[in-house]
Structure 1
Amino acid sequence: MSMQAASVESVISTILISNYRILELFWEKDLAFDFQWSVLRERTYLAFQPWAARYPDHIFEGSWHSLENKASGHCILLAALDALVREFIEPSHGDSRVKQEMMGAWQQGIVSRVSVLPIKAAANAAFIGDHNLNSEELRGAYRSSDVAEVPWRRTLMPVLHYHESIVEEYIKKEGLHEAHLHLNGSTFAETCWLRALRTPYTEIKGFNAAWKGNRKKPSMPELVAQVNPELGPARLFHHLRTAARLRVWLRAIVENRVLPDAQFPFSLAQLGSSGEDEWTVGLIDILPEKSEMRDIQGELDWMTTLIVRLRQRPSIIHSRMFHAYLLLQNEYCQLLVQNEQQYGFDQFQKFTYTELRESAEAEYKARFCTMHGLQTNYSKVGYLEGRFAPKDTVKKSEHLLRAILGGYLEYLQDASEESLAMGRIRSASLTSLLSLLDQYFRTNGQDHRRIHRLALVVHFIKQAWSPGHGLTSGLYRHYGLDRDLRERTIVLLNCLKLWPMLRHWIRGIDAAANELHAPPDVFAATFRICSRAGLTRRTYHAGEDFRHILTGIAVIYEALNFLDLRNGDRIGHGTAMGIHPKLWLERMPGNITLPRGEWMLGMLAAWKMARDIPDLVALTNNLQRELEEIACQIFQRPLSSSAIERAMDLRGLSRLDVMYNQSEYKTSKGESFGLLWQEERELVRKAADEQPQDMALLWEWLSDKKIQMRSEEFIVIKSAFLKTDC
């Protein structure tokens, strides 16, 4: 598929319906004020410039005037939505789809920044034509004839994509094999938005707590400031309350529930601050049903009807209210979805800190229904691999597994043609849920096309570490993570003992999160323990986020070796091995700053790989020289590359047992993990007997505070290191 960037017109259109500068302009103004294009130009330009700074100003000016000319008398909002529909959407068999050649630009530049719902609604309105249809007629006009009704249809987000007949037929016959769905963090932003409108205080409670807790670490406020520099918990709550009230008014307009003599709100500021008995004056039947919290289809319906009405009977105040609603909606959605300007895992991780999905994701059924799709007779996914983070107590683990498997059982019940007599699923014990699931598949056989089969993968979380003194860095490198992994591994395996039927569902393990926070060797003991316990399917995320391409490749190499990954196991992403070095160099500055120890390990891996290739003798010698020079800086004495290799190859040993073996800390003074880790202790004892000097050097690397500090000091390396020096 050829890739095409979004046009400047579409970028401007996206800004007009999503940027905080436009929202600020609207906030205090009379809702009946007719904004001209010239009033919005400066704020739009300021938002556009960082996005496309390489363009000269005449590019923006030309596109701005072109968009204004195409408006043809329509309001600014409809002009922006129409521009997006024209560029990206086309009709297809009674529905709308993304143009194939525009799919890349659509995913990166548009739907990562704005909700797809108003664009879908504008497409519906455009392709239906200017017919005077009511809501029910609109739904009928734009419902694909071959889509069967499923119980959860109204809760599903309409995903706009291009259609490929061969792919669609394959999905229908075989189903997709979804190998990587994080069960937490995958709820559509629009679903979270509707929940937040209904119960704003509940939905942002976690956000408030995280905001207060993160004031010393700026990650979350940094994300919020990117969306709106003035946004905080109080203002977010006020915006949600204003949006909820706007929505009540807009739906009343669509459904003709506004009294003829009603006084519309003067401004957004007034609407949001009015008392409960003031803002509803002039409306009929204002209380929405609780089901609207999940009614995505209802949201699309009223938006489509409103756009059709605005085309037929333009209204400044109706248009302004709708425009303001979309600005508030997209502000919230930008706190949930990473866009194309937010590169790297660090940016991604900031979204997890907001906790704006936490309330919506306490229940899991909705995600299983979403993966199933709209068809009643088959699921679009054949096998679903759901991933979750392990807990640190059996009680917490039981609660989480009950929620996941209970949600899956509820999905099976809804997807079945006959109701399953299963009682109150949500109050069932984990033992009962496992028995009910076993009963379901015994009764219904292994025909998985009607539903999707679930397998669970436990993904351990990498954690940041920094050197220091005392308790800040622990007794050795990644001490906190190492102890946490042990604790969660023991809890996981205890759960498998307490509920043996869990082995049918929990199929493997993974190590995920920020790759720069921890290397593969920290997870080696955990992977071995889990493998001995029967969890033999392993994944490790490596080579996606890296400072230098050589260190990215090194992490993949170390994951393969330290974790003993084999056929059927998986490296998550592995971009460093796939990206062309020339492309990487073109996108990087001339110099890269990275920790000295990270560079040493990168040189070690590169040297070990290069020395086996006869044509790379000169390169091997240069890598060896660089390795020994960096190691000398860290250890403050000359070390041969062979000595470094032997010691670093032992990093996969159980660190706690290495400490007991190599220091004054003895096993009797530490925690005992029983027989579970006995084989790990034997591996350490054997290495100490056979390689005493190497073990001593390893322990220096792991525990010496000065060595830790020197290895974590940042140094400058040329991006084209091999090309220039080797």
Structure 2
Amino acid sequence: MTRPLKDEMIDAWELVDYAKAVLTNQDLLRAFEHSAKVARFIGGARLSITRECHDRLNNAHALGRFSQMRRLHPRLTDEALENRIARIVKRLDNAASMYSPSMAREAQSERVKPFEDLKQALPKLLRCLAETFLCEGRDGSIRVRARLLAPWQDLVLVFPPLLITSAWMAKRISLPDATTPTVDEQQQALTRMRRWLCESTLPVDDDPFLDHLCRTEGLDETHMHLNGTTEAEKVWCDALERPEQVVGGLTARTTAKDSGLHVSIGNGVERLLLQEDPELTPDLLLQRVEAAVALKAMLLSDAVPVSNANLKTDVSESAVAAYRRAQKACLPHISANQIPRVAREAWQLVAIMRAFEAGGMETDAGLVFWYYALLRAQFCRLLVQQVHQKGFDQFQYITLNELREATEKDYAERFRQIERAHQKGVDFLEGRFAPKSNPDGSAELIGRILRGYLEFLGESEAGQAGTTREVGRYGSLAEMLCLVRRLENGCEGASLTSKQTNGRVLRSARRLRLGLVPHFIKRADANERNAFFNAPKFRPMCRDVKLRQETDQCARALVALIRRTTGLDTLIRGIDAASNERHAGPEVFAPVFRRMRGAGIRRFTYHAGEDFAHLISGLRAITEAVYFLELDAGCRIGHGTASGLDPKAWWAAAEGYVVMPTEDRLDDLVFAREILLHARVYADRLPVIEAEIHRLSMRIWSDPRITPEVLADAWRLRSLDPLVQGLRQDDVDPNRREEVRRFEEAHSRAPVAHAHFLRRHGKGASSDELKRAREDLVVSQKNDVLRPKVIRAIQNAVLQLLQERCIAIETLPSSNVRISIHNSYEEHHALHWLGLDRRSAGKAVSVVIGSDDPGIFATGLRMEYAHLLRTLNAHADAAMNISRAEDMLQSMCTDAKRYRF
């Protein structure tokens, strides 16, 4: 009998909470570490664990589990939490009896409370999670039940998903002789497993509409950073193979400088570790990964037939060597190089799960499995932004910890992950990367990307090596680009490699096609900023000197590389500027965007309105990107979150007040005044806004001649390059000559505003004025002259600007939910953009979907479409039925093709 969806959802969320609680249990992890020292749990011959040790572990499990449930539900009583835990424990025990009779028999033989002994606890939990959330799609892949997508997404941020999918496969894999399968049996099982997995640790939803959309039109990835793409468990697998290389990057990063611009806040990477575990350090993480290597070797050796004594752990060899030997024993007939990383790891986990079900594991193997899973989950959480880690800074600490650094040198694996084997849902990928400061540096980076892309293109759908295994002999970018085009479009095979193909026309079996979008990085130098605002004498010649110079150098190098490399202009599809927008505004990048436009680039996007002090600050950043960077038809804004958020909800998330520099507040008010004047709305609020502008202007500049009109005119001049002041128009660089001309024309056209523009950059400004500009100002919801209704009007005006200029917004649902104010996907601000909420006004703006950093957000492009479709369906009513929700999503898919670079 089918259960009501409401009851099923309650059960799913309860199970997710329990799974999160037990796999974030620091008490149990520390108890295991203590037991490992006492009982020689790791390395060499394993001793039996004493009853006292068992009791300690069980107590830590119970205590830590309850504590974590308490953190998840701080407002529930102890009795309510106890009842929930008891209900889940009983459910897991009943599920174990149904799924695996051997587990039930062992629990009865132990004569303990069901599930309270840890030996069989984890396999039971994994099996229950698998049967609750997973199913098989029509294409033979593992799918997440679409109706349970929300709790599943919450779960995989904390709980490694491959553990769950492996439990699902273990029940369904067919091996006539599980102990000694033949070569053919292994190959058939691996083929089946690869079709289940689709080169990814993250299964997609089972919505038939999205299946149809992916199959018929294909999705276009319009916002994805190549670094940050690799899924967390792939990095974990790499860490087991080479702990020092993978975790060593983290050890190096913790020596970085303090990341606070306004006040010392300590190293962000260190804080990320402490958020996960108050005792966690880089050295301890490395020790835990090394321990996990030994634990995994034990589990695999237990899963191998006991008769093969030579496969058991040798006390004299290293943990890594033992682990590699145990891996080989799992697949004795097939070379590891012939098996993708995900399939190889899944095969090992399936072998372990099947051994548990068959009762073939050693006495304490269940405890070893728990210990291993806790270590695996903790490592993966350091690579995935968690629900409680709000804001862009939290995201950036994950990018800075460099745990992905060693693994992400292989670009082919990322393309396989995006393609998802036979699913082939993505039609086009705009991969973003940071250009280097010299042409050779950028050429080396693009070369690595292209070699990975060529390896990917040359493979069959099943991942078998194809025509480009000899790609290493193509030394130049131009040669590789030529080969890329041949494989993408089809050509005579004889020209591809030295092998004879009898003139057959060869075309890549892959659907995915690649374009590259270099993104310049927004950075702030705290020392330089401090010198500009606080140094009494020797201050930088303008704001953000270092970033302006470094970015221009990168742009020059990129232009030089494009001009010297035949075909590179067809691969470089557009330009972006990314990273923390509070570190630099669009004005800093205006000269660079003009340089790239002069080099022939015609499409631009810019990260704006994602993270901000005040909602109006985010709206101003979007508008400045449009005006200062001269964005027009076919361009895009990345994120643009500020233009969609409900002002009242934002104020609630900000707890009713914000602290911001006085000059930023003044800029926001000047911008707001300009928008309201242009839109001709809320004229009655203008006197109040202008009075506040006068007050703040006098507070900083003490000059009554600086009127709102002067401030507005000076604001419009910010796209000028202050670095050219004093230069002549006969510079050898034509771009510099053009910048000087613009600078001098502005001076002639608006001398008063131009003078204030320079004053803001320090020319003629006193130290006291610049210090006052950065003084903190508290803006509360109660005293804000920009009421929520005024902010909504400004939002609508900004959206109208984008609509009139045919500029699309790149929306990234998972990234937005983690970084912005949302508690769930159902609250996503795209509803406002699409004209689906009561405060929407005017024609809907064009919206395209991206995944941002899929590895960091545990997602993929198909899943981002699924989350947004679920959001639209959640708001379905008589005027917005499910059919219309699908039509809107299909329209967004079409817009992505129109707006892709």
The 1:283–1:436 alpha-carbon spacing in structure 2 relative to 1, beyond 3 Å, is closer
Question: How far apart are 1:333 and its partner, in Å?
Answer: 0.9
Query: 1:394 & 1:279 partners in 2: Cα distance?
Result: 39
Q: What is the aligned partner in structure 2 of residue 653 from structure 1?
A: 720
Residues 280-295 of structure 1: pairs in structure 2 closer than 5 A: 291=337, 295=341
Q: Which of the residues 707, 714, 725 maps onto 1:640?
A: 707
Partner Cα distance (1:263, 1:360) in 2 = 29
Q: Which residue number corresponds to residue 268 of structure 1? A: none
- 635, 640, 649: which one pairs with 1:574? 640
Give TM-score, length-normalised by structure 2.
0.71
Q: Distance in 2 between matches of 1:422 and 1:435?
A: 16
The one of 663, 673, 686 aligned to 1:620: 686
Deviations 1:436-456 (A, max 9, x none): 224434644998884322111
Q: For 1:251, which of 287, 293, 300 is the aligned residue? A: 300
Q: 2:30 aligns with which of 24, 27, 30?
A: 24
Q: Is the 8 A contact 1:496 1:503 kept in 2?
A: yes
Deviation (angstroms), 1:488: 0.7
| Structure 1 counterpart of 2:317 | 276
Letter in 1 for 2:22: L
| Alignment-mate amino acid for residue 169 of structure 2 | N
Q: Percent sequence identity over matched residues? A: 26
Residue 608 of structure 1 is matched in structure 2 by: 674
Does the CA contact (< 8 Å) of 1:543 and 1:555 recur in 2?
Answer: yes
Amino acid at match of 2:149: M
Distance in 2 (alpha carbons) for counterparts of 1:438 and 1:264: 50
Residues 175 and 189 in structure 2, CA contact (< 8 A), matched pair in contact too: no
3-state DSSP class of the match of 1:97? strand
Instruction: Name the structure 2 match of 1:197.
Output: 240
Distance 1:67 1:308 in 2: 23
| 2:475 matched residue in structure 1 | 428
Structure 2: distance between partners of 1:236 and 1:553: 41
Residue pair 1:198, 1:293 contacting (<8 A) in 2 also: no
Within 1, Cα distance between the matches of 2:286 and 2:555?
39
Matched, 1:55 2:76: yes
Q: Distance in 1 between matches of 2:75 and 2:186?
A: 43
Shift in CA distance, 673/596, structure 1 to aligned 2, threshold 3 Å: farther
**1:155 and 1:294 in contact (8 A); partners too:** no
Alignment equivalent of 2:66, drawn from 30, 45, 60:
45
Aligned to 2:269: 220
CA-CA distance at 1:667 after TM superposition: 6.2
> Kindly tell me: are residues 218 and 45 of structure 1, through their superposed partners in 2, closer, same or farther at Cα, counting changes over 3 Å?
farther
CA distance in 2, matches of 1:218, 1:59: 39
Whether the aligned pair in 2 keeps the contact of 1:179 and 1:384 (CA below 8 Å) is yes
Q: Is the 8 A contact 2:455 2:468 kept in 1?
A: no
**Structure 1 residues 542, 350: CA separation in 2 closer, same or farther (over 3 Å shift)?**
same
Match of residue 440, structure 1, among 466, 475, 487: 487
Pick from 354, 359, 363 the counterpart of residue 308 of structure 1: 354
Query: Residue 599 of structure 2 aligns to which amino acid in structure 1?
Result: A
- Is 1:70 paired with 2:91? yes
State the Cα deviation string for residues 440-497 of structure 1 (Å, max 9, x = none): 3464499888432211101111112553227997322111111111111111111111
Structure 2 spans left out of the alignment, 5+ residues: 42-48, 94-106, 108-114, 260-265, 330-334, 492-504, 791-901
Instruction: Tell me if 1:103 matches 2:149.
Output: yes
| C-alpha distance in structure 2 between counterparts of 1:59 and 1:143, whole Å | 46
Summarize deviations over 1:569-593 as a string: whole Å, max 9, x none: 0011111111222322332201111
Q: Which residue of 2 aligns with 1:344?
A: 391
Q: Tell me how far 1:277 sits from its aligned partner.
A: 6.5
Query: Any conservation in 2 of the 1:252–1:284 contact (CA below 8 Å)?
Result: no
Distance 1:40 1:692 in 2: 72
Tell me what 2:99 maps to. Answer: none
Matched with 2:436 is 391
Query: How far 1:95 sits from its partner (Å)?
Result: 5.3
Give the structure 2 partner of residue 380 of structure 1: 425
Alignment partners' CA distance in 1, 2:299 and 2:687: 72
Change (3 A) 1:527 1:215: closer
Higher mean C-alpha deviation, range 624-633 or range 448-457? 448-457
Query: How far 1:132 sits from its partner (Å)?
Result: 8.5
For residues 113-512 of structure 1, the aligned pairs below 5 Å read 113-125=158-170, 133=178, 156-214=199-257, 217-256=266-305, 276=317, 291=337, 295-313=341-359, 316-375=363-422, 379-415=424-460, 419-420=466-467, 423-425=470-472, 428-441=475-488, 443-444=490-491, 450-466=510-526, 467-469=529-531, 474-512=540-578
Deviates further, 556-565 or 283-292: 283-292
SS of 2:75's equivalent? Answer: coil
Query: Cα–Cα, structure 1 residues 206 and 521, in superposed 2: closer, same or farther, change >3 Å?
Result: same
2:774 equivalent in structure 1: 712
Task: Kindly provide the amino acid, as one letter, of the partner of residue 689 in structure 1.
Answer: S
How many pairs align? Answer: 702
Q: Report the Cα distance in structure 1 between the residues aligned to 2:239 and 2:323, rounded to whole angstroms.
A: 25
TM superposition shift of 1:110: 1.1
The 3 A distance-change label for structure 1 pair 673 and 354 is farther
Question: Which residue does the alignment assign to 2:883?
Answer: none
Deviations 1:215-249 (A, max 9, x none): 78411100111122222232222212111111112
Q: Could you report, residue by residue, the CA deviation over 1:86-135 in whole angstroms, capped at 9, with x for unpaired residues? A: 5533455565422222212322x211112101111223345679998559
Q: 1:283 to 1:139 in 2, by over 3 A?
A: closer
Contact 1:390 1:397 in 2 (8 A): yes
Structure 1 position 712, deviation (Å) = 2.3
Aligned to 1:688: 747
One-letter code of the match for 1:202?
Answer: Q
Greater alpha carbon shift after TM alignment, 275-284 vs 191-200 = 275-284
Q: What is the deviation of 1:559? A: 1.3
SS at structure 2 position matched to 1:567: coil
- In structure 2, what is the equivalent of residue 269 of structure 1? none
Q: 1:240 to 1:612 in 2, by over 3 A?
A: same
Range 334-343 or range 88-97, more displaced: 88-97
SS at match of 1:612: helix
Given the superposition, is the C-alpha separation of residues 132 and 320 from structure 1 closer, same or farther in structure 2, using an over 3 Å criterion?
A: farther
Q: Which amino acid aligns with 2:571?
A: W
Letter of the 1:723 counterpart = R
Structure 1 Cα separation of the partners of residues 156 and 759 of structure 2: 50
Distance 2:338 2:72 in 1: 36
User: Contact between 2:457 and 2:509, CA under 8 Å: does it hold in 1?
Assistant: no
Q: Distance in 2 between matches of 1:103 and 1:191?
A: 22
Contact 1:182/1:387, CA 8 A, preserved across alignment: yes
Going from structure 1 to structure 2, the CA distance change for 1:70 and 1:28 (only over 3 Å counts) comes to same
Compute the displacement of 1:284 (Å).
Answer: 7.9
Q: Secondary structure at the match of 2:604?
A: strand
Most deviating of 447-456 and 691-700: 447-456
Let me know the Cα RMSD of the aligned residues. Answer: 3.6
In structure 2, the CA distance between the partners of 1:459 and 1:473, relative to structure 1 (3 Å rule), is: farther
State whether residues 207 and 233 of structure 1, in contact with CA within 8 Å, keep that contact through their aligned partners in structure 2. yes
The amino acid that maps onto 1:604 is V
Question: CA contact under 8 A between 2:27 and 2:61: conserved in structure 1?
Answer: no
**Matches of 1:51 and 1:390, distance apart in 2:** 42
Does the C-alpha gap of structure 1 residues 154 and 183 become closer, same or farther in structure 2, counting only changes over 3 Å? same
**Alpha-carbon offset, residue 308 of structure 1:** 3.1
How big is each residue's C-alpha offset from its partner over 1:659-697, in whole Å with a ceiling of 9 and x where there is no partner?
x24xxxx569xx966223211110001111222221111
What amino acid does structure 1 have at the position aligned with 2:398? F
Unaligned runs of 5+ in 1: 266-273
How far, CA to CA, are the matches of 1:250 and 1:364 in structure 2? 31
Is 1:89 the equivalent of 2:153?
no
Report the TM-score, using the length of structure 1 for normalisation: 0.88
CA distance in 1, matches of 2:549, 2:396: 22
Work out the CA distance in 2 between the residues paired with 1:650 and 1:155: 51
Q: 1:281 to 1:398 in 2, by over 3 A?
A: closer
